[in-house]
Amino acid sequence: MDNTSSTHNKVREYYGQLARTSQSCCELQNKLYPIETIKALPTEIVNFTAGSGNPLRLAQLQTGETVLDLGSGGGLDCFLAAQQVGENGFVFGVDMTPEMLARARESAQNLRFKNVEFREGFLEALPIDDNSIDIVISNCVINLSPDKSKVIQEIARVLKPGGRMIVSDIVTNSQLPEEGRKIDDDWCGCASGAMTVKEYIERLEKAGLMNITIQPDLESAPLVNEPDAEQVSEGETTERRLQILKDWGQCERIIYLPHMISAHKPG
């Protein structure tokens, strides 16, 4: 890209500050990943993430595949993916924030990962070759882009024929009024830029992707501080959680929830 928007600058400064202070923007992030998948990684990597879910849970990565992580941050999902694809596979992480890239590259060096590379770039202009990626993953980053249509077009461009995308992202039940989309803190906090399911599907279809699914992420849905949260406990059934999510979706006020979004590029 020839220049950056004010949104890019605000987001880059916000997440650069997180990297400089070694803070995660979200609480309880280590609960998003099964302990057996993260126990081999250092605590400072596991606990430093800004994700909304665990896209690798549904990605079903295969040995030898090439993976691209959009907005790779401190590198957690890249390192987990690298373990799954093995030495014959490869993982690219793309991020626009220098501080995040520095952390991720240092961690890769310390952990001696040979099949991971972090590249600086924008999601709207990925520094990745056409038709070169088996699977695109992302964790609560697409909502931060000021041009989501371009991001999804780029996903379609870099995927191999038959390739797939599995991303975790924040989705809203109702489009935020235009004035609300201009609030920098809300945008950086994954609220102002969130799309509705309808908007997501329209952009994916326009980019030529197919087999689209967009589902609330029941494993990651932040029930704390939401309406009816006190009615939910660890022991309650998935059916009950689904009913609560349905109730929220019909709520008149705007609500944001993590979703899993998947699609394929025609073969």
Do residues 260 and 55 lie in contact, with contact meaning Cβ atoms separated by under 8 Å? yes
Helices 6-21 and 98-111 pack at an angle, to 10 degrees, of 40
Task: List pLDDT tens digits, range 211-254.
Answer: 999 988 877 664 433 444 445 455 554 565 566 566 655 655 66
Nearest to 81 by CA among 18, 124, 19, 133: 133
Task: List pLDDT tens digits, range 53-92.
Answer: 899 999 999 999 999 999 999 999 999 999 999 999 999 9
Task: Give the residue-averaged pLDDT of 131-138.
Answer: 98
Do residues 205 and 212 lie in contact, with contact meaning Cβ atoms separated by under 8 Å? yes
What is the Rg, in whole angstroms, of the alpha carbon atoms belonging to the chain? 18
Q: Quote the pLDDT of residue 176.
A: 60
Phi and psi at residue 178, to the nearest 5°: -55, -40
Residue with tokens 């650069």: 16
Q: Quote the pLDDT of residue 230.
A: 46
Q: Quote the pLDDT of residue 127.
A: 98
Do residues 98 and 16 lie in contact, with contact meaning Cβ atoms separated by under 8 Å? yes
Q: Quote the pLDDT of residue 187.
A: 42
For residue 188, is pLDDT > 50?
no
Q: Quote the pLDDT of residue 226.
A: 44
Residue with tokens 């406990």: 233
Burial code of 203-221, b = ≥16 C-beta within 10 A, e = fewer? bbeebebeeeebebbebbb
